[in-house]
Amino acid sequence: MLEQINLLREKGQNELKSLTSTDQLPDWYHQYLGRKGDLTSFLKQLGTLSAEERPAVGKIINEVKQEFQQSFDLRQETLRESKLHEELEIDDLDVTLPGRPCTTGHLHLTTQTLRRIYQIFQEMGFQVYEAPEVETDEYNFQLLNIPEYHPARDMWDTFWVDDEVVLRTHTSPGQIWAMREYYPDPIRVILPGKCYRYEQITPRSEHQFYQVEGLTIGKNIRLTDLIGVMTEFAHKMYGEDRKVRIRGSYFPFTEPSIEIDMSCSCKDKADSGSGGCRLCKYTGWLEVAGAGMVHPVVLRNGGYDPEEWSGFAFGMGVERPALLKHNIDDIRYFYGNDLRFLQQF
């Protein structure tokens, strides 16, 4: 048997050296190293040998197997390199040709909408004021006329860092920061930023979202001034054909309080009786802002005497105006990182 194994070793090495293509390698491997290959058949015959012969023959078979495997790996690498060189010689590379263009990024739809909102309100004399995203209970609630254990706190599902620190649930705390910085001067600012609420993610709501707060403090400021500002914003943002609806509402930090609704992009369908869309709950109207006259308690906490000063405030989402403007019916698309959506804007 030893003579037969040596003959197989010589035959296998010679055949391997004669191979000229990587396509021939699998056949050689199956013939010599496969489960039903020649070396495997010798291993199966070990049981027919005597106990004295078996160790020596088994050792020789393992040595031949290792030699074949090493030679196969080396031959495979050599043939691959040879094939690569041949392909490079056939397909000349012209280094003077222009490279593949790189895909460039662009501003996220939320950022585009924010910048448009900034532009509109700056044209009306507002300046941008930034306030912290992480707030204390005092600024986020108490100074806005929402004392501890007040039922109004149920309106905001809050992420608490500890007993005193929260991720701000709205941009309204920025009112206090702005008033305390600018007192005793009149104020006309917008306060953009991200807010966080522990709530269900739906086509209409996310657990984190952008808001833009607006605040105006001065002498003889009236509710009609607020309605005029928001109507002007609506027409500049969405076009003269969009309608604005004012509804009475309640917020602890404004009195009186209102909700500002915008006609949805499906409004014509809703009016005709063919149904609206899931974004506006098939009503034809979408809430875009809560607003009202600044509550006397909040004015006083900001340093202004409510007997002398008055003002209005509003808070609006940023994603919802984008939904309205571009006829998008699901807010979850904004942060799904799907390029098929993002590259449309």
Residues 291, 257: contact at Cβ < 8 Å?
yes
Q: What is the CATH number of domain 109-342?
A: 3.30.930.10
Stronger pLDDT, 175 or 197, i.e. the higher one: 175
- Say if strands 310-317 and 208-218 run parallel, antiparallel, or are unpaired: antiparallel
Identity at 288, one-letter amino acid code = V
Mean pLDDT, residues 110-129: 93
55, containing H or E segment: helix 54-90
What is the distance, to the nearest Å, from the Cα of residue 93 to the centroid of all Cα atoms in its chain?
Answer: 40
Mean pLDDT, residues 261-266: 77
SS3 state at 101:
coil
Residues 309, 299: contact at Cβ < 8 Å?
yes
Tell me: pLDDT of 171 over 50: yes
Mean pLDDT, residues 150-177: 84
Mean pLDDT across the chain = 85
Tell me: pLDDT of 270 over 50: no
SS3 state at 256:
strand
Q: Which residue has the tokens 């949805």?
A: 264
The CA distance from 279 to 328, in Å, is 9
The CA distance from 340 to 330, in Å, is 14
Using alpha carbons only, give the angle 70, 76, 82 rounded to the nearest 5 degrees: 135
At residue 93, the pLDDT reads 65
Parse the chain into domains and list their residue ranges.
2-90, 109-342
Using alpha carbons only, give the angle 209, 228, 180 rounded to the nearest 5 degrees: 60
At residue 239, the pLDDT reads 82
Residues 264, 284: contact at Cβ < 8 Å?
yes
Mean pLDDT, residues 190-212: 82
Range of weakest confidence among 9-23, 54-68, 257-271? 257-271
pLDDT tens string 229-244: 999 998 888 888 878 8
Residues 10, 16: contact at Cβ < 8 Å?
no
pTM above 0.75, yes or no: no
Angle at which helix 319-326 crosses helix 109-123, to 10 degrees, equals: 100
For the chain, percent of residues with pLDDT exceeding 70: 92
Stronger pLDDT, 155 or 260, i.e. the higher one: 260
Cis peptide, bond prior to residue 101, ω within 30 of zero: no
At residue 276, the pLDDT reads 62
SS3 state at 312:
strand
What is the distance, to the nearest Å, from the Cα of residue 50 to the centroid of all Cα atoms in its chain?
Answer: 72
Q: What are phi and psi of 189, to 5 degrees?
A: -135, 155
At residue 63, the pLDDT reads 86
Contacts of 297 (CB under 8 A, 6+ apart): 145, 253
DSSP 146-186: --TT-GGGGGS--EESSSSEEE-SSSTHHHHHHHHHHTTS-
Contacts of 16 (CB under 8 A, 6+ apart): 28, 68, 71, 72, 75
